[in-house]
Amino acid sequence: MVGVDIAGPWRDRLADHLRERLGGELVAAFVIDAPAGGLAACAIGVVHQGLPGPDHVGVFGQVQTVVTEQPFRRRGYGRAVTCALVEWLTGQGCTLLNLATSDAGRELYVSLGFTSNPCSMRLIARPYHRA
Ligand SMILES: CC(C)(COP(=O)(O)OP(=O)(O)OC[C@H]1O[C@@H](n2cnc3c(N)ncnc32)[C@H](O)[C@@H]1OP(=O)(O)O)[C@@H](O)C(=O)NCCC(=O)NCCS
């Protein structure tokens, strides 16, 4: 979502989605509260069941929405919530974790062992309408 216009009704759809699924076996959020209310940092992850292969059981973890609010950056919050999420996804049986990084996030992810995947490709199969 970094560098993208984030306004729009998708936020309500996301809130509904999280209300239904957060705390279950497939979606988790790790957060640090801001002292004055709201969140200082968060990391959300989703477990996806894919196909087993020779070197992978087929359970994928998607790391998403890793954000520390500006005033709280460089205090270790991003690392703390991301580490907790990686541990949770691994505990859910994920043997491969995927994420899309930003320039700001790259050092953090590399320090946790993530590597770039030159084989990765994607197709935006259907234009996503925000309305
Ligand atoms: C990326 C982000 C989550 C880091 O959050 P943070 O709370 O500041 O991170 P931490 O304090 O835990 O730092 C973790 C590591 O990230 C790296 N890092 C963080 N900010 C950095 C910066 N501005 N420049 C270079 N490296 C940086 C460092 O390696 C740091 O480890 P260190 O402090 O031991 O050197 C935060 O900058 C952010 O929300 N950015 C906008 C959203 C985003 O890009 N999210 C990631 C992609 S989805």
DSSP-derived pairing of the beta strands 59-68 and 96-99:
parallel
Using the mean position of ligand 1's atoms as its centre, give its distance from the Cα of residue 55 in Å.
Answer: 31
CA atoms within 13 A on the CB side of 85: 32
- Structure token digits, residue 99: 């994420």
Give the pLDDT band (50/70/90) at residue 124. Answer: confident
Say which CATH superfamily domain 24-111 falls into. Answer: Gcn5-related N-acetyltransferase (GNAT) (3.40.630.30)
Using the mean position of ligand 1's atoms as its centre, give its distance from the Cα of residue 54 in Å.
Answer: 35
DSSP-derived pairing of the beta strands 96-99 and 39-49:
unpaired
- CB neighbours of residue 34 within 10 Å: 14
Instruction: Give the pLDDT confidence of 35-59 residue by residue, as tens digits.
Output: 999 999 999 999 999 999 888 899 9
Instruction: Write down the pTM of the prediction.
Output: 0.92
- Structure token digits, residue 34: 């801001």
